[in-house]
Amino acid sequence: MSNINLIDSFQEFKDFKNIDRPTVISVLEEVFRSMLRKKYGTDENCDVIVNPDNGDLEIWRTRKVMEDGFSEDDDLEIELAEVKQLDPDMEVGDDYIEQITLESFGRRAILAARQTLVSKVLELEKDEIFKKYKDRVGEIVTGEVYQVWKKETLVLDDEGNELMMPKTEQIPADYFKKGDTVRAVILKVDMVNATPKIIISRIAPEFLQRLFEIEVPEIFDGLITIKKIVREPGERAKVAVESYDDRIDPVGACVGMKGSRIHGIVRELKNENIDVINFTNNISLYITRALSPAKITSIKLDDETKHASVYLKPDQVSLAIGRGGHNIKLAGKLTGYEIDVYREAGEEDEDVDIEEFSDEIDSWIIDELKAIGCDTAKSVLALSVDELVKRTDLEEETIKEVMSILKSEFE
């Protein structure tokens, strides 16, 4: 065998996704040089010639022709009598060049080299994957769900690289099955036991930001800046935006005509409510906007303790707090102020429509109460627990919980 065809000998190298051929060939050359050093003690007088186009590799060894009995190193020199048997035209002082064949290394050495080669290329590929994804942290990636486990989901990108999405990085309403296409943001990339571990997330604020950049050209072009994003994944999100161009309405641009731009984002996030608000350095105005859709009467700020006391009409309190307290919690995170809400002074005698509590009381319970004529908070509180149990199909425990919610409105 006069030369070694690498492509024929190592077919699996065609399948390495992240290593280019020149790099593979460079590794091959180093492996064969290692074999030469092991066999001859040195590779200094050897030329390893690789053809990157067809995969051919040739190895040539050069030794100086010496007078008989004067050779001090058979790896670098060859005596005249020996070389005359190989090439009668050789003279003392000439360079004798011979081609090294694959067979000359022996079967065991070739198998060992093959194993070393596969190991080195696999290692290189892992490094390339790590570098590639390390530079892409914060970017959106699209992949196909390959396997779903209890605590995490395995996703393959378009090159077959493995991406892990822990359950804790999924929106609560997410449900995936094998073959589904999924979008997420690259959260972090670590090396674990010399293998890259790529974690992707659908709950990170960066995921929502990337979705806005995709849907809103003005954000992608830098005409609108996203100042801050806070989320309760799957429930609610607040996005503060700002434009340095007075001709652009940042909120309108993000929402789109009849909500056309934001609808796609909401669907992607499993119907997460998204409030887009205008950023401002006026803290009172910023908090007012952050508590949307509630309408605020007045605000008292303590800038030292970063505390805000917000006063609202009774029918706006539940809106400010929001279902599960998400609205006020996110407003606090967005503005950096701890927010407390209070019913406006002098409104104690006012009643509140029971529909205003829809964020805290299930609609079917409200319907039960309205069916017996209790359509305001005080009309419910006017009756005893026993009376309400008799007149509705509600459990005693449910009624006590409802009354506790209604009482807190007037405290």
What are the pLDDT digits (tens) for 240-251?
999 988 889 999
What is the average per-residue pLDDT within 233-240? 94
Q: Looking at residue 226, what DSSP letter applies?
A: E
Distance separating alpha carbons of residues 296 and 320, to the nearest angstrom: 9
Rank 73-77, 288-292, 370-374 by mean pLDDT and report only the highest: 288-292
What is the average per-residue pLDDT within 264-280? 94
Per-residue pLDDT band at 9 (split at 50, 70, 90):
very low
CA angle, residues 364, 273, 407, in degrees to nearest 5: 45
pTM: 0.64
CB 366 within 8 A of CB 379: no
Continuous H helices in 41-173: 80-86, 107-134
Contacts 24+ apart (CB under 8 A), 290-298: 290/238, 290/240, 290/330, 290/331, 290/334, 290/335, 291/320, 291/327, 291/328, 291/331, 291/339, 293/319, 294/319, 294/320, 294/327, 295/319, 296/320, 297/344, 298/344
Report percent pLDDT > 90 for the chain. 40
Higher confidence at residue 352 or residue 241?
A: 241
CB 188 within 8 A of CB 169: no
Higher confidence at residue 376 or residue 410?
A: 376
Specify which residues 152 forms β-bridges with.
166
Specify which residues 99 forms β-bridges with.
60
Continuous H helices in 87-197: 107-134
Distance separating alpha carbons of residues 128 and 160, to the nearest angstrom: 14
What is the average per-residue pLDDT within 379-388? 85
CB 83 within 8 A of CB 49: no
pLDDT digits (tens, 9 = 90+) for 79-115: 888 888 888 888 888 888 888 887 777 788 778 777 8
What is the average per-residue pLDDT within 318-331? 88
pLDDT of res. 212: 96
What is the average per-residue pLDDT within 61-68? 87
> Is residue 348 predicted with pLDDT exceeding 80?
no
pLDDT digits (tens, 9 = 90+) for 205-233: 999 999 999 999 999 999 999 999 999 99
